[in-house]
Structure 1
Amino acid sequence: MTERFFASTVLFFAGTLNGVQHASDSQFIPGSERLHLSLSAPLSTFVIGGSLRINNTVIGAGGFGIVEAGTVVKLKSAFGVLTLFWSEGPSTWLDHVAGEFFGF
């Protein structure tokens, strides 16, 4: 398993369901395949370029996806992707120790 991932920015928004929403623009380089997270809140994503696999669903450029709270997700990208993520709560890494993905 490779750990080739880069997250560049975390933004904070007020006025959402629980009062705050964190967003990040993220770039996965080709072959990224080891992002295994448990979500405590809904996760939304918009794929700007490339393709992103969330569990068994592939989202291509211009695609939008929502993952329900309580879901365990594996994020992969065979050919690389630039995407925006929005989350209303923290996530937990399941395959290694690292800081919270969305800055909660």
Structure 2
Amino acid sequence: MADILNISCYKFIPLPDAAQLRETLLERATALALKGTVLLAEEGINFFLAGPAQAVRGFVDALRQDPRFADLNPKESWSRTVPFRKMLVKVKREIIRMDHP
């Protein structure tokens, strides 16, 4: 039975506080024992997360408390095992690589 919820989502939204947000999201994801990657940049957020459904949905619900993320609508899929080895939250130049100089 597939009991691991996998989600992916991105949103282009100004995040001038990306560095501070990184710490908050890493603490929250770690406390929920989630695995995956969250990319933050001044242009927005992009994430791929996996874990028990209640934990994953709890993370998204908490993220939606920030008005900038209230309309997030992650894509969901299910798996038997967690497809990620660790939890990473990184601040990058861009959330989706466009190969623009």
TM-score calculated relative to the size of structure 1: 0.32
**Higher percent of residues as helix:** 2
Structure having the higher Rg: 2
**Higher percent of residues as strand:** 1
TM-score calculated relative to the size of structure 2: 0.32
Q: Which has the higher contact order (CA 8 A, sep 6+)?
A: 2
